[in-house]
Amino acid sequence: MTKLLLLFVVFSYCLGIPSALAGINDDNYEGNVFVLYGGNASLVPPKTTLEKSMAASDRATLLVLYLDDCSDCKQYASAVSRMQAFYGRATDIIPVNVDTILPELTYKPTEPGYYYKGAVPQVIVFDKAGKVVLNETGQVPYERVDDTLREVFDLLPRTESSELKRRSFNEFSSEVTE
């Protein structure tokens, strides 16, 4: 009888716990996309606001509008993290969850709602003067954003510059491996 009772308790316990399924290809909410899928918790919350970033004339701004329960945004989070790796020191990267944009009749040009087109992910690049130089929705290819930022910073086009490769991380000293 005790074995039967124990089996019943274990079986009931297994039925009562929902499984924690996280998937990059579904529209379910699991948490912040940059933490879970971009591997980059430093992007959220943003270090500055759009208004403050536009007031600073020495930096470009990359505004990323997203939703946490959107498969396209989950997949795009790693591309935004990659952009931060290359442009994070010279560009303010501001990810904004569109659920936090309060509905208003009109927005100021210093508010994310002013640029929101109703689709996510959306990428807006502002030059150092605060002028929009790229405003696209969907999974904008990294190369497209990279080309735009290269123009903003007056860098050589990718076709003319040497290919940048990151050093591979190795926990062993190079002296040991050579």
* Residue-range domain boundaries for the chain: 22-139
| Cβ neighbours for 69, distance < 8 A, ≥ 6 positions apart | 27, 28, 29
DSSP category for residue 168: P
Q: Render each residue's pLDDT in the chain as its tens digit; 178 residues.
A: 777 667 666 666 666 655 556 688 898 888 899 988 888 889 999 999 999 999 988 899 999 999 999 999 999 999 999 999 999 999 999 999 999 999 999 999 999 999 999 999 999 999 999 999 999 999 999 999 999 999 999 998 888 876 655 555 544 444 444 4
Tell me the CB-side half-sphere exposure of residue 75, using CA atoms within 13 A.
Answer: 11
Q: What is the pLDDT of residue 13?
A: 67
Closest-CA residue to 84 (of 96, 94, 74):
94
Strand order in the sheet with 122-126: 91-97, 60-66, 122-126, 132-137
pTM for the model stands at 0.79
Residue 67: φ, ψ to 5°: -130, 145
Give just the sign of the alpha carbon dihedral 124, 127, 128, 130.
negative
Give just the sign of the alpha carbon dihedral 27, 42, 57, 144.
negative
Q: What is the pLDDT of residue 145?
A: 97
Q: What is the pLDDT of residue 158?
A: 82
β strands within 42-177, DSSP E: 60-66, 91-97, 122-126, 132-137
Q: What is the pLDDT of residue 174?
A: 47
Residue 91, SS3? strand
Superfamily of domain 22-139: Glutaredoxin (3.40.30.10)
